[in-house]
Structure 1
Amino acid sequence: MTTRNLLSDLPGDADAEAFERLAGTEAVRIERIVSRGHRSPASGWYEQAQAEWVALLQGEAMLVFEDGERLHLRVGDWVDIPARRRHRVEWTAADAASVWLAVHYPADD
């Protein structure tokens, strides 16, 4: 058994977001993501083969979808993003770590 606190031992300032696999199988992946003012590249979209359920545990962020929908996420907010729905992170809080809990799982095709 493994136990830890999701808000402890956060990586320090970094040029890139920190992704940490916490648990899972080949079909389901659970990870912690730590962002510090990071954003997606302006020229691209995330378009994943798996669905992604993500919750913001700390910080603040803005998700933008290709169809123009925008979600301003604050502590405790979560979203279930269907597979292949194009999206990106427009911004994350610059003055503190934004901590995400993400679950990637097979899409219902």
Structure 2
Amino acid sequence: MPNLFSDIPNDLPKELFNDLLNNERIRIERIISLGHTSPDKGWYDQEEHEWVIVLQGEGEIEFENEDTIRLGVGEYLNIPAHQKHRVAWTTPAEPTLWLAVFYR
């Protein structure tokens, strides 16, 4: 049986993205970060809405021209399509496990 907390590597040179479900209406993705942030090249500007929850660790989502929101275990956020955002910080001492649901 699949488990969100299994197969978390000890060494994470870059963030790990796994699609758990992907069809034309919804995409569910597991993201594992270990001190990672979004690339310096810019902001995420997505076609879909994104609902994201932290299942382990902590992370900060920064919005263009807005505040930064810190999420801990069990805390979630809905990001409307085209709201520019980036991951500004994730816990460096333990993996941060995100579950992201992208929908139209």
- The residue aligned with 2:70 is 72
2:12 maps to 1:7: no
Give the paired residue count: 104
**Unpaired runs of 5+ in structure 1?**
none
Match of 2:36 among 35, 38, 41: 38
Q: Which 4+ residue blocks in structure 1 deviate beyond 6 angstroms?
A: none
Normalised TM-score (structure 2): 0.94
Question: Which residue of the partner structure matches residue 81 of structure 2?
Answer: 83
Counterpart secondary structure, 1:8: coil
Contact 1:11 1:34 in 2 (8 A): no
Q: Distance in 1 between matches of 2:19 and 2:10?
A: 17
The letter of the residue matching 1:94 is P
Tell me how far 1:68 sits from its aligned partner: 2.1
Equivalent in the alignment of 2:53: 55
CA distance in 2, matches of 1:42, 1:68: 17
Kept in 2: contact 1:62–1:92 (CA 8 A) = yes
1:2-45, Cα deviation, whole Å (9 max, x unpaired): x3221122123222110001113122110100001000123310
RMSD across aligned C-alpha pairs, in angstroms?
Answer: 1.1
Task: Using the aligned pairs only, state the percent identity.
Answer: 47
